[in-house]
Structure 1
């Protein structure tokens, strides 16, 4: 694998013959902590450092932390590249923190749902938001697997359904999904609130933001169906629990892992080269297997074992993308309303 990455780097026009790499520089990359950070430090960054002749300093933190750092350093940015959720990435773009992506052939291979209209950020990977359920309980009751967002209205799930709140991207996706079922969407959210309040709320055991608590509610049998991300469900299933992820027939939602070169960075060429490197097939495979993110590059081939639990191939084409320009603008208002009307 390492030799393949090396070849990909040598072949990259962003890296070959560029005088900017003659002297070693330090590239500051701010991204997720936890298992994502571990994979980046161990399996991704070393090969880039060697080929690009740069030292990469990885600054771990969640997406809101990274956005806060950009705001605190406005006018004197210390970070060169950010890796965040797609919602905060759109905020970073709108606030002027992201520079324009340099042209590169690799972007032609990126899935359409992973592209930003502004060309100031790009999806590096993704998970899907959809439905999941306890297969053992469903089999015992001879219930069919949930297939639609509308199935969450079924009275047999009374106090057995768990959905994250809307300050969590999975919960926000659910609200938009129900709005779309009722003929609305991001720009017409009313049907979403009405459906959840009148037809779904009675089934909800908890609007649970904590992954640990979510799994606990399923393990102790209180919950049997819910809304969650494909990566989370895969990790839960890997523990041996009979959790199954479902892409709803109306479509699941792409939760993108996005990157952007920071506007005002002193290392623009290296920042762009790093993002292009993250999209090369060998690195995409590493992040899929070790980081739980479905590839953003449509040319990536995963084995059946590698693709288990990840949005991949035809599934990616069926995923919906949120209009974050609308959602981010309205999110604070929606959250206040949610707290008044839904989670009282």
Structure 2
């Protein structure tokens, strides 16, 4: 080996010329540096694991990245890369990466999470005492855990309503009022809020998840004339409110609170017929490159401390021991009465027919 060539490459030519006659000593010195470098790379300071967490975008992403991830990274010597996306997109990624998963933890709505579990993308949860404090309905059969509770209801622009002299909506049926023509928006069926809308219109018209026909009929005849456009993007829907394109929408309590936190005059209503419960859940992905860190992250997400932080963005706590102040508690699904009055969706029935419903929706509703 040409020792001087190595040194020159490292911009150490003066050292080379000074020690040219003592190449054996330099080689010994280089070997020492190499061994030291290997030892350093193998030390805990350098052996940092990388995790990929896929979850919702928007304000939830900002909160998780700014207030939740850094503390976990520091405690567990792990670097987390957050991959934002809507729930259906994340499950599609899991499907596309089957056999070579890159995502370690998936955070998605309850319906898509049940699909991911059914398809075998979610690993078993490790036992942990904290899970005993999580509401029973927020457990996903041992393969996932609920980290936040959202109510699906009606969001409206309070300032616009007052200007027009409109009374606040109180019922799902109010959304079909002709005064909302081209001033209403909701998620398409690709989003959970869209599924909730379809099921609730079925329920209030004599159907349910097993008999969805009344929902399609009511939406096609009575709701579609009021719709400006359908959107499954939370950012786009918020933009429609801010641009004064719409006055009212079917939306989630967490999204409405996030927009209200910006100073926008939005209000959220739990309809008198009931608000569907959306459980934001998470699971450790199978074929996981960081299984222990993934399990630890899920347990961390349901601690009362983290649950209180998530509540600041409108996610009701799933850990029953979480304490919220009165102002925060008023805006989220929290406490026995509000949580108990929310309507759970029959996702086993929905997921059997969701592809069929989506095709029909695209043909007859969103054309």
Do residues 293 (structure 1) and 315 (structure 2) align? yes
Q: Which runs of 5+ in 1 are unaligned?
A: 1-20
How big is the shift at 1:210?
4.2
Look up the SS of the partner of 2:331 in the other structure.
coil
Following the alignment from structure 2 to structure 1, what is the Cα–Cα distance between the partners of residues 64 and 251?
Answer: 24
1:242 correspondence with 2:289: no
TM-score normalized by the length of structure 1: 0.82
More deviation in 176-185 or 325-334? 325-334
SS of residue in 1 equivalent to 2:126: coil
Query: Structure 2 matches for 1:48-63, cutoff 5 A?
Result: 48-51=72-75, 53-62=76-85, 63=87
Tell me which stretches of 4 or more aligned residues in structure 1 moved more than 6 Å. Answer: none
Question: Is the CA contact 2:307–2:322 (under 8 Å) kept in the aligned structure 1?
Answer: yes
Q: Tell me whether 1:100 sits opposite 2:117 in the alignment.
A: no
| Deviation readout 1:133-156 (Å, 9 max, x if unpaired) | 222343345443211111112233
Aligned pairs for 1:249-268 (under 5 A) are 249-265=272-288, 267-268=290-291
User: Hey, what does 1:323 align to over in structure 2?
Assistant: 346
Runs of at least 5 residues in structure 2 that lack an aligned partner in the other structure: 1-43
Matched, 1:83 2:107: yes
- Aligned mates of 2:235, 2:301 — CA distance in 1: 30
**Partner of residue 311 from structure 1, selected from 329, 333, 344:** 333
Aligned positions of 1:7-86 closer than 5 A? 26=49, 28-32=51-55, 33-51=57-75, 53-62=76-85, 63-86=87-110
The 10-residue stretch of structure 1 (168-177 or 135-144) with the greater mean CA deviation from structure 2 = 135-144
For these two proteins, the number of residue pairs brought into alignment is 320
Q: C-alpha separation between the residues in 2 aligned to 1:334 and 1:71? A: 21
Aligned counterparts of 2:95 and 2:230: Cα–Cα separation in 1? 30
Q: Which residue of 1 aligns with 2:133?
A: 109
TM norm structure 2: 0.77
Matched position secondary structure for 1:88: helix
Query: Which one has the largest radius of gyration?
Result: 2
Q: Deviations over 1:85-140 (max 9, x none)?
A: 22221121011111222233322222333222x22111111322111222234334
